[in-house]
Structure 1
Amino acid sequence: MKFHLLAGASLASLAAVTAALPAHAYEASALAASVAVAGEVVHGRVTNAAGDALPGAEVIVRATGQRAVTNTQGEFDLVLPTGTAVLDVRYIGQPSATQTVSVVQGGTEVSIMLGAGEAATVSDVIVTGVITDGVARSLNQQKNADGTVNVLSADAIGRYPDPNVAESLQRVQGIAIQRDQGEGRYINVRGAPSAFTAVSVDGVQVPAVDPGTRAVDLDTLPSDIVANVEVSKTLLPSQEADSIAGAVNIKTRSPFDKRRLAVSGYAGGSYNDYGGSDTRAAATASNVFANETFGALLSVSYSETNRRPDNVENAWVKEEQNGAEIFVLEESLFKDYETKRTRQAVTGALEWRPTDDFRAYLRGSFAQFEDDEYRNTLGLIYSDGKLQPGATDTTATYTGARITRQIRHRTQKNDITTLVAGGEKTFGNGGVWDASLSWAKSEQSYPNRNELLYRSSATTLSYNTADHYMPSYSVFSDPTGFYRDPTKFTFRENTFRENTTSQEDVAFKTNFELPSQFAGRDVTWKFGAKFNSREINADEQRYRNRASSASPGTLASVLSDRESRNYDYDLGFKFDADLADAYFASARAASPIREPDSITADYTAREDILAGYAQARFDLGATNVIVGVRVENTKFDGDAAKVVDGAVSPTSVSRDDTEFFPNLTVRHSFSDNLIGRFALTRSISRPEFDQIVPRRIEETDGSNISYEIGNPDLQPTLSNNIDAGLEYYFNSLGVVSANAFYKDLTDYRYVLKYTEPFGADGEADFETPVNAPDGHLAGLELNLQQKFDFLPGLLSGFGVFANYTWTDAEIKTDRLYAGRDTFSLPGQSDSNYNAALFYEMAGFSARLSYTKRGDYLDEINADDADLDLYVEGREQLDFTTSYDFGNGVELFGEAKNLTDSAGVRYYGSRERTYEYEKFGYNIFVGVRFKL
């Protein structure tokens, strides 16, 4: 029913738009079927005075109002009758230009240069700085896009201390990030879960590396490889529908960006407040050959980060005391990390443009993220003991509790590879045909996930969490030094896990675009189809050995003389990493028995999507209307295994689903500077692969049993979307905008955690994905960017960025959980904002930037609302500065996380802190060069 209502609304809105047209547009002679536009193709390129391409420039035919917008290489195409035509070119940050073109048979080529002379007025401001040039590129592309789009250029990204794409995107209005050890990993667009946003590189959709989500780990992709990042918050029929929140397309560089020999790069190093260092370097080289008909580009990037964050985790439960329930800890874990993270990436491009109307290309990218981590953990296991009378919500004493000492060596590798070959042909009537064949592969592997655990004899433990960030624990004030005495500990177990999950995607897509006229108006028809096939393979090995023969010896024999500290907590001595690794190698060679639950973790799957679309773009003078529909058929097959009484048997699931996605997108220019937008769209988010295969994974940790259960009946989430916005662009390089959105969600999926009786007189923890029938996500984005060019003298170098996003969201379940059937949307913060003050003058630039997001729900607990898991809002202050010597050499410096902000998670209330982690500030200095 919702689909039909949306389709009806689209048609009704289109009828309203066409009804407002002048009456002469509907003369009887003009009501014939659409015909191709008669004329010749004019191929043009718009550059600045330095010869750099200007993307997003608006080219208007003065006599007819016909309009084109330049692409990322500054190129545009128009179909005009032979004769003389006058073209007006507008670009925020450059003086407008007019050029007369003689259109001849066989096609015409034209070059238009902006800013060759001096600016005469404020409205003719010429962009000269790196910051302002990046702002201008972004604003022009956003202004002239058909839908609601945000663009980050490479120059803008380079002015922030952001090592990966996720951290770069946090600067965009409506986007917040989820972090791992202080670094951005996933993005939340407009308060939606990270899986609601699809990511592509050069138009090739990237499979996720993490098997538990469709969201792409954007910390795998370094920001160095980027030419620009385009975030489409409203989709067109020509775009894949699987982006409820928005689609991110990361565009790498092209040799035709410069059309000459161009070499650039940077290198530098840093100091981290919490220990370790950061080294980064990148270089790009490109050139064009054979009379600018062939181009080649190669880009490389490398970074190494050594971090030692401090981390304490406290797990909370409810216990009955004197007839009342109180909150108590069941364990506290003090984690001492030593982590080395490396990122390396290579991108390349070969492009052939023998004529203006034909081009072919081959582009590829490879990015690898490796996290090599040693973690020493001191664990206070209260649940092994007995809670004593007198406990409160902040204090408790346990007798018979235990302490654990553990070392874990974990190596994680993420690989993302894309390769695409394609071509584009422009015909004499202005029609354009393009096609591409692409291959993408993502792989996540854990070659090392080794753990060695020692456990103490029984002891008495107390705590006080009145200071919920830095509680006090009796173990550290014990005069006997119980936890520091290795003789109190005995070998408990070793565990080994290794797993590899790969996703391989092959896709073919083609589009045909044909300009025509209907009722005296320009209409562009566009049709296309895409088929992609994705194969997923997950293989996991788990081993555990508690036999005394598996022990490496006493705890003292594997400890080093290096102290282990976490905040102000003295954790004793670290494990000797070399001795631990030697033990792991020996113990694994002994070939322990594989755990049955690791067999049930394995699965294979295949997803085939066949899509087609048709859309029409009506150029109605100041108004542009796009109306169309997309159809996607999804076929899914998955296989897993189940273990019953030690016997392994296969299980499988097959699904076939077809969805329609109608679309109405309207862009109206109230003036040259004031743009209004409106869109009615429909989109989808398909379930994670591991959630719909019929798996039932059992994990046992002592007396605790937990199950992760797949749901083959899990439905995709569908969303009907309404978007509306106003944008006013200042001639002096700025914009003020407001965009409102509402998303009506059907079958929102979430992971439900609950506890049920299990066995004779025990219980077990369960988690399974389920659908919520209804939900919504609504919000408002406010954005301001302004360069103060109108101020006198040195003050004209100042500028400001500021944006604020407010969202409201909830889901409604089909049954009550702990008396509730309405929940906040996991991953959604009520507020998110950024502010930055920048200055740029005579080669010097500086920017002070601040970002903050509010608290958000992370996990829903079906049994108790007080144990829902939240992530506490976080703020961060960064500073960057640089000086350009004018000879292609630039010195720069970055200061990140000057507020030393922590990452915090809590249960139900901030007083029940689950995780408190700090990363420290980072100071980076380096040099850039450009030839």
Structure 2
Amino acid sequence: MTIRNQRLLGVSGLVLALGLSAFGADALAQHQLTGRVVDERGNALPGARVSVPALGLSTSTNRQGEFSFSSVPAGEAQLEVNYLGLPTGVRGVNVSATEANMITFTLADTGAGMDRIVITGAILDGTARALNQQRTNDATTNIVSSDAIGRFPDANIAEALQRVPGFAVARDQGEGRFINLRGAPSEFTAISVDGAAIASPDATTRAVDLDTIPSDVVNAIEVSKTLLPFQDADSIAGSVNLVTRSPFDRGGFSLRLQGGASINEIGSTNDYRLSGVISNTFGPNERFGALFSASYSHTDRQVHNMEANWDVATVGGQDVFFVDEFVWKDYDTRRTRQAYTGALEFRPDDSTRYFLRGNWSRFEDDEYRNQLILDLSAGTLQPGFTDTTATWTNARIEKELRHRTVTNTIWNIQAGGEHDFGRTRLDYQLSYNESEQTYPQRDQLLFRSSLRPTVSYNYTSADEPAISLFQTNEHQDFGAFSFRRLDQRFEVNDTREWAVRANVERDGSLFGNNAEHRFGAALRWREAERDDERWRSPTTADFGPAQTLTQLQTGEVSQNFIYNLGFKIDEGLADAYFNSMRGTVYGNPAYRRMPTSVESDYTVEENVYAAYGMSRVSLTNTDVTFGLRVEHTEFSSTANRVNESTGVVTPVSNSRDYTNWFPNLTVRHEFNENLIGRLALTRAISRPNYPDVVARVSAGDTPPLTVNRGNPDLRPTLANNFDAGLEYYIAPLGLIAINAFYKDLENYEFTLRTPNQVFEGQPATFVQAENAPDGYIRGVEFTWQQSFTFLPGLLSYTGIFANATFTDSEMDIGRTVGGRSKFPLQGQSDQTFNVALFFETDRFNARLSWNDRSDYLDSLNAEDSRFDRYWEGRSQLDFTASFEVNDQFEVFFEAKNLTDSEGIRYESDRSRVYERERFGYTLFSGLRFNF
């Protein structure tokens, strides 16, 4: 251990020792008042504001509706509870100096002068829980309850987050995968489960694949858009904490089941979804609790996909664009998503609790891809071509089947405890997380036609160009195809992290005002490794399947948009061939692709040691939080370099240590109980993606070379953040809010392609991550949520959820590359919108929701901006409805992507479509059971 680490750990120990010194008899002698706020059904009310007005004391309830005052004088006290959507409750309590003071406060949903509101309905109940927690939090947050998630057709966490202000979603085959918060790259948002960070299964990025985790296993999603010192600093855009269920959320025995099936537009395939939660509290005074939940879904989708590769040539002094390759991909995709969570909790008394929690999620994407490749660049481009028309002679035709299975697994386990000693509180947690991505099967069988036709195309329609091949149909002369190549591949990426955290909180005073002081430390030890193995067969026929292409095909037409690609290849026959080649090609050193199979591998160790201190001072109507966090990072890695002449593999290592300081100032001001202003000055970090900072060099094996290099000198991105907002909470249940933000970026990480280089005597293009010295993200969010109880008749059962986010971003690399020195940030849409209209009564609710994001940069071509790739903005219309048959049974219906919106990727100009993907709409229905 380095001297610097010893010092940091010493500071952490001193911080904890100072906190623990408060656990004296004086703390235990205080008159403590604790309690729980529930509704008429006994359900906890989180985020309720509890106050003792005469003493100037106030606090808010936690997720189980619990609150605590550490020091209340003995005698009569008047307690006031305020909860949006319910009338304010007032109750007198007698605080004893000798006995425990524990009360249960029940808020009723009716009251004199109270506007009528159906708080028992699923939509409004979830809204009330979210708004009450947001209102009482110090930082700028958004809360999404499980009830709210269930009212949208969102199968995974990424899709659930797309409804939250500031979020946009990047999709894969129509399903949300990665998130962009406030226009920032996906890596700028940290993901945790119950406060413990989880790593990405994907080796190429720190951004977590959120399609791995189903949405129905969480109790709530907590989004922190401004950080406090006790939170990990690796959250420039914000942090997302997935809160799993606790057996004490409801208390007693509880059983909830849900299941249903769908029909999908393309291919008339079906999806299935099942989930359940069972929990109970038991023992003397119900001090023990246990919970188990499970979720399983299976989707069977057919997806149409077409790609075109654009290039440019100078003709007569003018640049003219042309396509040199078309690829049609007909997907048959089977995706399974399953997750399990468990919790054991023990609360020996009202001031002590212990927990053991675990969760496991697995996502498998098993896809067959029938592919038609029209390689125009193998032929000759004829004179007279334009930006929309061209003719090529001697084009090459190939057909390929790829069977690829990828599996993501994320699991973690946590153990810890919480202790309330009156004026002092202690909590601690030990956790382990493992995230893994494997490709157990990645087989590609390629056939090539002997025919070399002349092909013309016309881009009068940018989405569906007219291509002469589909009139002459040379691609359907199956007898002209012969075996060309077999590629087989295996890959595994694994990240493991141990973490320990401890926090001490002490009630006190500062400058004559009530204050809370908090100290803590966190240690995180992470290891990551990647192993990529590739094999390729010779092109001789004896390595091909026993069947010809004609014999391998089924009678099922492979249709892609308006294009008839021929027939699909029989999956069973293809898999039998792939399996027969294991040992012959797959795993055979003679056909191992070197150096690719070695130079993409690496191992990483990254340790983060952190300590913080903070104070929260309560003035008359203002809460001021200030503090400092320090994080020390140790990083080391090993990659491989191969000498192609000798075959010698040489390990290459690098390491670096750095320390960062994160000051924090957060202000929350109540103009009145419904109008709240917030301001935050914070600092945050985003550490580099592992492949970008590892000392690796991968040049491939086919000239001209594209040399992908790691950059050991790459520095983490830092951001100084300014956030300000104003929130007005509308009676009886609503919100109007505006939040502005500015993030000043230092050392923003971007990838630069540098052509016309020389690598080991061959011409090459270098691809390497670098730091841009300066950059920014700025924007503003608007939110409007309201129940229209003031309207007459049936309209009084309606309401709206709406939000809009407008962002702008830029990075300045400090020099001119390809005529530019300033570039946009990847993943940043100028606008994102959400609008949902709902109707809800005691038994029935319905919601029509619209989600939209504008175009955003997908990949940057620094040498030529005309080849920057953008995803076109996309809108989607969804509908959900449910009806409670009785108190136990509920039927529901979901309609997803009613607009049949597609995914379009283009190169700088919308007329140059690079990729078009269509996945159709889905209709889903099912049944819920609650006991």
- TM-score, structure 2 length as denominator? 0.94
Q: Distance in 2 between matches of 1:165 and 1:245?
A: 17
Match of 2:37 in 1: 46
**1:514-560 C-alpha deviation (Å, 9 max, x unpaired):** 00022321110000000010000111101111330312253223222
Within-5 A mapping of 1:184-223: 184-223=176-215
* 1:622 correspondence with 2:616: no
Tell me the amino acid that sits aligned with residue 462 of structure 2.
H
Report if the CA contact (8 A) 1:169-1:175 is conserved. yes
Report if the CA contact (8 A) 2:109-2:119 is conserved. no
**1:754-796 C-alpha deviation (Å, 9 max, x unpaired):** 4325579974443211111100000000000000112233221
SS of aligned partner of 2:928? strand
* 1:452 correspondence with 2:451: no
| CA deviation after TM superposition for structure 1 residue 887, in Å | 2.3
| Most deviating of 553-562 and 167-176 | 553-562
Tell me the amino acid that sits aligned with residue 824 of structure 1.
P
Q: Distance in 2 between matches of 1:444 and 1:107?
A: 55
| CA deviation after TM superposition for structure 1 residue 105, in Å | 2.9
Match of 1:683 in 2: 684
Match of 1:294 in 2: 288
| CA deviation after TM superposition for structure 1 residue 706, in Å | 2.2
Report if the CA contact (8 A) 1:36-1:514 is conserved. no
Match of 1:379 in 2: 373
Q: Distance in 1 between matches of 2:694 and 2:519?
A: 34
Match of 2:96 in 1: 104
Report if the CA contact (8 A) 1:502-1:536 is conserved. yes
Tell me the amino acid that sits aligned with residue 401 of structure 2.
I
Match of 2:20 in 1: none
| Most deviating of 125-134 and 881-890 | 125-134
Match of 1:28 in 2: none
* 1:612 correspondence with 2:604: no
Tell me the amino acid that sits aligned with residue 550 of structure 1.
F
SS of aligned partner of 1:713? coil
SS of aligned partner of 2:456? strand
Match of 1:166 in 2: 158
| CA deviation after TM superposition for structure 1 residue 322, in Å | 3.5
Report if the CA contact (8 A) 2:27-2:421 is conserved. no
Match of 1:639 in 2: 638
Report if the CA contact (8 A) 1:61-1:88 is conserved. yes
| CA deviation after TM superposition for structure 1 residue 493, in Å | 1.1
Tell me the amino acid that sits aligned with residue 104 of structure 1.
S
Tell me the amino acid that sits aligned with residue 425 of structure 2.
V
Report if the CA contact (8 A) 2:28-2:421 is conserved. no
* 1:732 correspondence with 2:723: no
Match of 2:68 among 69, 77, 84: 77
Match of 1:359 in 2: 353
Tell me the amino acid that sits aligned with residue 598 of structure 1.
S
| CA deviation after TM superposition for structure 1 residue 700, in Å | 4.2
**1:263-284 C-alpha deviation (Å, 9 max, x unpaired):** 0011000000012211001000
Match of 1:266 in 2: 258
Distance change in 2, residues 1:791/1:113 (3 Å): farther
Point out where structure 1 has 5 or more consecutive residues left out of the alignment.
1-34
| Most deviating of 313-322 and 682-691 | 313-322
Distance change in 2, residues 1:328/1:259 (3 Å): same
Tell me the amino acid that sits aligned with residue 387 of structure 2.
D
Report if the CA contact (8 A) 1:230-1:250 is conserved. yes
Count of matched residue positions in the alignment of Structure 1 and Structure 2: 893
Q: Distance in 2 between matches of 1:373 and 1:109?
A: 60
Within-5 A mapping of 1:13-32: none
Distance change in 2, residues 1:119/1:560 (3 Å): same
* 1:391 correspondence with 2:385: yes
Q: Distance in 2 between matches of 1:167 and 1:849?
A: 13
Report if the CA contact (8 A) 1:509-1:529 is conserved. yes
Match of 1:60 in 2: 51
Tell me the amino acid that sits aligned with residue 689 of structure 2.
E
| CA deviation after TM superposition for structure 1 residue 199, in Å | 0.3
| CA deviation after TM superposition for structure 1 residue 400, in Å | 1.8
Report if the CA contact (8 A) 2:379-2:394 is conserved. yes
Match of 2:663 in 1: 662
Report if the CA contact (8 A) 2:857-2:871 is conserved. yes
Match of 2:751 in 1: 751
Tell me the amino acid that sits aligned with residue 366 of structure 1.
W
| Most deviating of 754-763 and 501-510 | 754-763
| CA deviation after TM superposition for structure 1 residue 40, in Å | 1.7
Distance change in 2, residues 1:126/1:267 (3 Å): closer
Distance change in 2, residues 1:833/1:107 (3 Å): farther
Match of 1:521 in 2: 513
Match of 2:14 in 1: none
Q: Distance in 2 between matches of 1:845 and 1:239?
A: 37
Tell me the amino acid that sits aligned with residue 67 of structure 1.
S
Report if the CA contact (8 A) 1:41-1:107 is conserved. no
Report if the CA contact (8 A) 1:321-1:391 is conserved. no
| CA deviation after TM superposition for structure 1 residue 123, in Å | 5.0
SS of aligned partner of 1:55? coil
Within-5 A mapping of 1:229-248: 229-248=221-240
SS of aligned partner of 2:591? coil
* 1:255 correspondence with 2:256: no
Q: Distance in 2 between matches of 1:556 and 1:704?
A: 35
Distance change in 2, residues 1:333/1:117 (3 Å): closer
SS of aligned partner of 2:55? coil
Tell me the amino acid that sits aligned with residue 684 of structure 1.
I
Report if the CA contact (8 A) 2:610-2:631 is conserved. yes
**1:855-895 C-alpha deviation (Å, 9 max, x unpaired):** 01111112211001111100000000010123210000000
Report if the CA contact (8 A) 1:94-1:126 is conserved. no
Distance change in 2, residues 1:618/1:327 (3 Å): same
| CA deviation after TM superposition for structure 1 residue 355, in Å | 0.3
Q: Distance in 1 between matches of 2:634 and 2:796?
A: 58
Match of 1:551 in 2: 544
Distance change in 2, residues 1:254/1:740 (3 Å): same
Tell me the amino acid that sits aligned with residue 608 of structure 2.
I
| Most deviating of 752-761 and 309-318 | 752-761
Report if the CA contact (8 A) 1:475-1:483 is conserved. yes
**1:396-444 C-alpha deviation (Å, 9 max, x unpaired):** 111122011000000000000010000011113x210011100000000
| CA deviation after TM superposition for structure 1 residue 319, in Å | 1.9
Match of 2:7 in 1: none
Tell me the amino acid that sits aligned with residue 594 of structure 1.
R
| CA deviation after TM superposition for structure 1 residue 253, in Å | 0.4
* 1:567 correspondence with 2:561: yes
Tell me the amino acid that sits aligned with residue 474 of structure 1.
S
Report if the CA contact (8 A) 1:37-1:515 is conserved. no
Q: Distance in 1 between matches of 2:862 and 2:181?
A: 26
| CA deviation after TM superposition for structure 1 residue 115, in Å | 3.6
**1:667-708 C-alpha deviation (Å, 9 max, x unpaired):** 00000100000000000000011211111123346x553222
SS of aligned partner of 1:155? helix
Tell me the amino acid that sits aligned with residue 610 of structure 2.
A
| Most deviating of 178-187 and 578-587 | 578-587
Report if the CA contact (8 A) 1:37-1:517 is conserved. no
Distance change in 2, residues 1:57/1:759 (3 Å): closer
Within-5 A mapping of 1:866-877: 866-877=866-877
Tell me the amino acid that sits aligned with residue 52 of structure 1.
N
Match of 2:413 among 412, 416, 419: 419
Match of 2:708 in 1: 708
CA RMSD between the two structures: 1.5
Q: Distance in 2 between matches of 1:888 and 1:642?
A: 63
Q: Distance in 2 between matches of 1:117 and 1:798?
A: 18
Distance change in 2, residues 1:815/1:845 (3 Å): same
| Most deviating of 71-80 and 118-127 | 118-127
Q: Distance in 1 between matches of 2:518 and 2:337?
A: 40
SS of aligned partner of 1:459? coil
Report if the CA contact (8 A) 1:600-1:697 is conserved. yes
SS of aligned partner of 1:256? coil
Q: Distance in 2 between matches of 1:521 and 1:37?
A: 22
Tell me the amino acid that sits aligned with residue 724 of structure 1.
A
SS of aligned partner of 1:483? helix
Tell me the amino acid that sits aligned with residue 344 of structure 1.
Q
Report if the CA contact (8 A) 1:94-1:124 is conserved. no
| Same amino acid, percent of matched pairs | 49
Q: Distance in 2 between matches of 1:790 and 1:850?
A: 24
| CA deviation after TM superposition for structure 1 residue 117, in Å | 6.3
Distance change in 2, residues 1:351/1:761 (3 Å): closer
* 1:465 correspondence with 2:464: no
